[in-house]
Amino acid sequence: MPDLARFPILTIALRDAREALRDRFVLIATLALAAAALVSVLSGAAALHGDATTYAAARDQLLALGRSASDIAAPELWPLKLLRGTIEQIEIMGAVIALIAGYRAAAAERGRQTLALILTRPVPRWKVLAAKLIGGVGLSAGALAVVFAVSATLLHLLSGVGLTLNDLGRLALVWVMATLYLSCLYTVGFALSLWLRRPAAGLIYAFAFWLLLVLVAPQIGDTMDPDNQVSGGVFAALSIPRVEQDRIKAGFAGYEFFRNGIEVASITKHLERFSFAVLGIKDTYTGRPISEIWAERRGDVLFLFLFTLGLSAIVLLRPIDPDRLTQEI
Amino acid sequence: MTGARIICTQSLATLVRERTVLLVIALFSLMVLVSAWLGWSATHTVNTIYSDAAAYLTSVGEPVPPNPVSLGSPLAVLRNVTVYVGLIGTFAAIVIGQRLIEGDRRAGVLPLIGARPLSRASFARGKIAALCLSTTAMMITAATVSALTLAVLPGAHVTGAEWGRLAAFFLLAWGYMTLFGLVALGAAARISTMAGGLLAATVLWLAVTFVLPAITGNVNPTAAINPISGLAVAPDTPLFTQLGFWLGPISLSEHFNYLSAGLMGYRPDALAPRGLVAPLACLVAGFIAAGGFAVVSCLTLDPNAGGPDA
């Protein structure tokens, strides 16, 4: 065990890691997220299998009629596309788990009075907080590593074509970004539960933050997209050719700028856009080399990084009031 | 004043002093207002696109299809309210349900109530009445804002039958929100650890909203935030047919979205409900089960468990 006075960050982070390994919540939360991700992969694979069966039947029918099979489009198989649901589960369920983990980290210290005790030792307060945040990063990285490992194994088995090294590299990149995202949410849950008089109130405020940033901001942006107002898309319903669609859309540049601005105010949207591009879930990025995608989407990486860094800086710089640390009603 | 009434009055008086609860309710009311603007803005944009598209189609001699927005009910302009009820309204109800028990527990009031000549049944009735009155007040606010929006929107001609359907939607929304509030109230009564009830009810709500639709219909989680995208037809495979049959009845968020879209007039004709049981029957059964859970939990509540220092 390292000495607290000499290596405070390492000592506290290691203690947190040991606690996390003993904590059933961490295990249950990781399993829940992995189960939600697996459900998404399996249901996506089942839907794709259904498409393939329908295509095979239609193709056989065409061939029996003496026509060419090229008359109908074959369903595409890009294994990583099946991770769409997994990414969305991380965005929503993962975010909630990270908030709760942050809340528990603060509430446990306050409830047991251990934080107040540590603060009586000759340890700078920012180092204590930094250790707690590093613990959150480790927790997020570990849980997500399990989720991605299980998803990748399942993809490998389900797709039948196997994952290449390039695919695994893309998964690793998304894992890093998702870890950053969950660390940010962990920090929010930890900070609010630490600062407010009642940790439970901190959790409710953290949930309100989650609702606004993870669900409402993207919801507003999504709803303002005119193509989402009509089932199947407004342009498809009007049978307008692509060129004409672009001309009409050009007349809504200001509206689109405003709509996009609301969407990108959400950290979730940045994770989604980056992940969907890297994994080829968004059709315009499917099959494109990673270097091109990185050049195009590095703004999302920068936003996620700076947002998390800024939030962490606020937590580290804000003084802790020892009088408010005890668990109160 | 009866025991249940005293509990209800005391609970409501405590709730209105809770800043956290007020914040969540204010957030819900604000988002209902935003949804009215969103509905108007999105409809206006589609109308403008339609005008441009109609001009183009006329110039090339193509037939002009009817405006897809004008085909539906004018109530469809309020479709985002269904999303905010499903997300923020239910969360507000969960917070209220949890605070109704947790607030008393942390304040050390529960042992005092237990020491008074008050039956557990009166306690349960009082707490459930306080929850129902709170969610009713939220729904009346949302309904008033929505009705005013429809009344002032240019071009929205709402018939008497449509006003009736709007009222039916808010009744449905009240039931859906209160269902989760009852779960939170029951969970808080059973779990004495801090925020335990809040977490249990939130986990259930997350599973119902974001996980079950993926299992029963391959609906991705973010579809829950769009009133149109969530109304997806399940893939036509034996697996999804079986999953819909077995899990469809408990996929309450899908039933709520299905019925809401029908009442507000934007449900696609080809969309079938998940499973074979009628959506309304599933929601009513869910409401009764949640109410039963809340009643039993209040009846068996240990007033000495937990407490200010737990």
Distances (CA, A) of A159 to A33, A72, A162, A288: 22, 22, 6, 20
| CA separation for the pair A193, A209 (Å, rounded) | 13
pLDDT at A219: 82
User: How far is residue A223's CA from residue B227's CA, in Å, rounded to a whole number?
Assistant: 8
Mean pLDDT across the stretch B260-277? Answer: 87
Rg of chain A in Å (alpha carbons): 24
Q: Say whether the ipTM exceeds 0.85.
A: no
Output the six-digit token pair for A77.
């198989």
Nearest to residue A15, comparing CAs of A23, A176, A309? Answer: A23
**pLDDT > 90: what percent of chain B?**
42
> Where residue B258 falls among pLDDT bands split at 50, 70, 90?
very high
How many domains, in total, are found in chain B?
Answer: 1
List the structure tokens of A92.
């929503």
Closest CA to A142 of A240, A33, A298: A33
According to the model, what pLDDT value does residue A183 have? 95
Any domain includes B53? no
Q: Which domain holds residue A122?
A: 8-324
Q: How far apart are CA B176 and CA B196, in angstroms?
A: 22
Cross-chain residue pair A44–B237, CB shorter than 8 Å: no
Instruction: Give the pLDDT score at B308.
Output: 60
Contact A54 B236 (CB under 8 A): yes
**B23 domain-assigned:** yes
Residue A53 pLDDT greater than 80, yes or no = no
How far is C-alpha B172 from the geometric centre of its chain's CA atoms?
Answer: 8
What number is the average pLDDT over the span B134-142? 94
Q: Please give the biggest Cα pair distance in chain A.
A: 85
Is A1 a domain residue? no
d(CA B231, CA B112): 49
Q: A6 to chain B, minimum CA–CA distance in Å?
A: 34
The rounded distance, in Å, linking the Cα atoms of B127 and B121 is 10
Q: What is the CA radius of gyration of chain B?
A: 22
Structural domain contains residue A43: yes
Q: How far apart are the C-alpha atoms of B59 and A104, rounded to whole Å?
A: 64
Which segment of A110-119, A300-309, B56-65, B282-291 scores lowest on mean pLDDT? A110-119
Indicate the residue of B53, B107, B202 with minimum beta-carbon distance to A329. B107
Shortest alpha-carbon distance between residue A1 and chain B (Å): 30
In a domain, B274, yes or no: yes
- Counting Cα atoms < 13 Å in the Cβ hemisphere of B112 gives 7
DSSP state of B222: G
B195 and A234 in contact by Cβ < 8 A?
Answer: no
Over B167-212, what HEC string results?
Answer: HHHHHHHHHHHHHHHHHHHHHHHHCCCCCHHHHHHHHHHHHHHHHH
Instruction: Tell whether B299 lies on the interface with A, counting CB pairs under 8 A.
Output: no
The answer to whether residue A3 is domain-embedded is no
Could you give the number of structural domains in chain A? Answer: 1
Mean per-residue pLDDT over chain B, rounded: 88
Q: How far apart, in whole angstroms, are the C-alpha atoms of residue A125 and residue B141?
A: 46
Residue B227 domain flag: yes
Answer whether residue A329 is part of any domain.
no
Query: Where is pLDDT greater, at A77 or B280?
Result: B280
The answer, yes or no, to whether residue A329 has pLDDT greater than 50, is no
Q: How many CB atoms lie within 10 A of CB B310?
A: 13
Report which of residues B240 and A325 the model is more confident about.
B240
Provide the token pair at B71. Answer: 């085909």
Q: Does any domain span residue B65?
A: no
CA distance B109 to chain A (A): 12
**Confidence grade of residue B46 (pLDDT, cut at 50, 70, 90):** confident
Contact A44, A85 (CB under 8 A): yes
B282 domain residue, yes or no: yes
- Express each pLDDT in B13-39 by its tens digit: 999 988 888 888 888 888 888 887 887
Instruction: Please indicate whether residue A271 or residue A262 has the higher confidence score (pLDDT).
Output: A271
Across chain A, what does the average pLDDT equal? Answer: 84
Tell me what the mean pLDDT of segment B250-254 comes to.
94
What is the band of A173 on the pLDDT scale with cuts at 50, 70, 90? very high
Check if the beta carbon of residue B289 is closer than 8 Å to that of residue B247. Answer: no
Nearest in space to A179 (alpha carbons), one of A64, A305, A27? A305
Q: pLDDT value at position A325?
A: 65
pTM for the model stands at 0.85
The confidence score (pLDDT) of residue A231 equals 64
- Please report which residue ranges of chain B form alpha helices under DSSP H: 3-17, 19-59, 79-84, 90-106, 109-115, 120-152, 160-190, 196-206, 212-217, 238-247, 252-264, 279-299
Q: Which residues contact B85 (CB under 8 A, 6 or more apart)?
A: B142, B173, B176, B177, B256, B260
Asked if the structure places residue B42 within a domain, the reply is: no
Q: Which of B35, B98, B220 to mutate: most A Cβ within 10 Å?
A: B220
- As a whole number, mean pLDDT of residues B224-235 equals 80
| Structural domain boundaries enclosing B231 | 3-36+75-299
Q: What is the pLDDT of residues B93-117, one digit of tens each?
A: 999 999 999 989 988 888 888 888 8
Per-residue pLDDT tens digits for B276-290: 899 999 999 999 999
Nearest residue, CB atoms, A39 vs list B53, B215, B239: B215
Q: Which of A33, A93, A204 would you mutate first to test chain B, the one with the most B CBs within 10 A?
A: A204
Q: Across chain A, how many H-helices and E-strands are there?
A: 14, 0
CA distance A189 to A210: 10
Does position A161 have pLDDT exceeding 70, yes or no?
no
